Structure 1
Amino acid sequence: MRELIEYVAKSLVDNADKVEINEINGAQTNVIELKVAKEDVGKIIGKSGRTADAIRTILNCGAAKQNKRYILHIIDE
């Protein structure tokens, strides 16, 4: 799932080299922290959060195939 989110995020932003992904594995839920450059946060979130919701939907669909639960946190610097 980490590679999937990394691919999507790098495709959306201008500064692909500043995309950082940290995955925290828990007992029932895994958390993916997505950190991008300050000027690219708007591109990841999108208008009214639509792009972020779409990324979360893709993440949840992939997680459902693995019978896992993932949460995406977008961190701005």
Structure 2
Amino acid sequence: MEQLLTYLARALVDQPDQVGLRISEVDGARLLELKVAPEDVGKVIGRDGRTVNALRTLLNAAAQKSGQKVRLEILDDRRNTANGQPAGAPDSPR
């Protein structure tokens, strides 16, 4: 399953050498955290999240076949701004 995800992610991005995968167990499910170069995040997510949803569908089908549960999260360093707030978050009151 992890090999499938890294193979697909490397095929989607411009910088395949920066694809990384962190695996952990959370709430009885395997959590896969995919990290790509900041300029490739949009390619992995896709328009309206279609690409990441397709990846999740494939992973869930593979996991279900082996009796597991899996979650996929895309790590996005671009969401951090200078003030420590996620992009689009309202500024804290002053």
Q: Same fold (TM over 0.5)?
A: yes
> How much identity, in percent, do the aligned residues show?
44
1:2 to partner: Cα distance: 0.9
- Which residue in 1 is equivalent to 2:87? none
Report the TM-score when normalising by structure 2. Answer: 0.78
Q: Which runs of 5+ in 1 are unaligned?
A: none
> Partner residue of 2:31?
31
What's the counterpart of residue 2 of structure 1?
Answer: 2
Alignment partner, residue 55 of structure 1: 55
Unaligned runs of 5+ in 2: 78-94
Q: CA RMSD in A?
A: 1.0
Q: Which has the higher helix share?
A: 1
The structure, 1 or 2, with the larger RCO (C-alpha pairs under 8 Å, 6+ apart) is 1
User: Hey, which of these two has a bigger chunk of strand by percent?
Assistant: 1
Query: TM-score, normalising length from structure 1?
Result: 0.95
Moved more, 7-16 or 27-36: 27-36
